Chains A and B, each alone.
Chain A
Amino acid sequence: MSEGLPKEELEKIKPDKVVDARGVSCPGPLLAAKRAITEIPIDGVLEVLSSDPGTARDLPKWAKKVGHEFLGVIEEPGYWRIFMRRKK
C-alpha cells in the first residue's frame, strides 16, 4: 500500500496518541488526524486506526504534504493502523 517501516519496527512504537476512527468514512479520519496531531509534542507519534480504505491511502499523502513524517501502516483484519511522526 505505502512505503514505511517494516511491521516489526512499527509494532515496537509507543504512540503518544491513538485515534480510533474505525467505522467512520473519509474524510472523518483525516480531519481527526489533523486535529489530533496538534495535541502531541513535536517528534511525537500519532497512530490512527481506520477501517476506511480511502483513509489508509490518504493519510500517508496527507502527512507528507503537510510536513509530518509518515512512518508506515500495519494492516489488521478489517482495519489499518497508520503511524506518523509530528514534525512541526
Chain B
Amino acid sequence: MPEKMVLVIFSGTPDRLLGAAVLTSGAVAMDMEVDIYLMLWGVYAFLKKNLEKNKELSEHKELAEELEKGLKNAGLKPWYEMLKEAKELGTVRIHVCSAAAKAWNAKLEDIYLADDFVGAAEIVSTAKEAEIAFFI
C-alpha cells in the first residue's frame, strides 16, 4: 500500500498555499498519495473566481511585490499551477469541508481541482492513518 500524506489546508493566503503545493509536489515525486482537505479559508482560496486575484500574504504583507518577483526569478509557478501539475503526475485527492463550502455558497464545480465533499470525521480518520499529516 502506498504511503500517504495528508494536508489540512485551513489558510487561504498564497504564501501558505505555495508551501502546501511544494509539499504536495515532493510527496508525489516520492510516490506518496496525497489527500488534501480544504477548510474555511482554504476553500475560499480554491474558489475558481479567487485563484488569481488572491494575493494578500499571511506575513510581511509589505513584501508582496518583492516576493512575487523573487518567485518568478526562482522559476516557481503559482501555487495553483504547481498543484495542478502534481495532481496530473500522481495521486492527489482534494476534498472539501462541506460546511465551509456552504459558508461560501460554493458548489463542487466552483472549487479548483476539487474531488468531493467530506465531513470532519473523515478528515481526522484519514490523518490518523497517514504517515505524515500537516495543518497549514
Contacts and interface: CB of A to CB of B under 8 A. Distances in A.
Bound pair (A, B):
yes
Interface string B80-102: 00100110010000000000000
Interface stretch (A10-18, A22-30, A72-80): A22-30
A31 B86 contact: yes
Contact of B31 (A24, A28, A58, A65): A65
Interface in B65-87: 74-77, 82, 85-86
B136 interface: no
Interface residues of B, number: 15
Interface residues of A, number: 15
Contacts of A62: 29-30
A28 B82 CA distance: 8
Interface of B is mostly: helix
Contacts of B86: 31
A86 to B, nearest CB: 14
Contacts of B82: 27
A14 B82 CA distance: 31
A30 B26 CA distance: 8
A66 B75 contact: no
Contacts of A33: 29
A23 B30 contact: no
Contact of B30 (A24, A35, A66): A66
Given A34-B89, A35-B89, A27 B75 contact: no
A18 B1 CA distance: 32
Contacts of A65: 30-31
A8 to B, nearest CB: 30
Contacts of A35: 89
22 contacts: A24-B75, A26-B22, A27-B22, A27-B29, A28-B77, A30-B25, A30-B26, A30-B29, A31-B25, A31-B29, A31-B85, A31-B86, A31-B89, A33-B29, A34-B28, A34-B29, A34-B89, A62-B30, A65-B31, A66-B29, A66-B30, A66-B31
| Nearest 3 Cβ contacts at the A-B interface | A24-B75, A27-B25, A25-B74
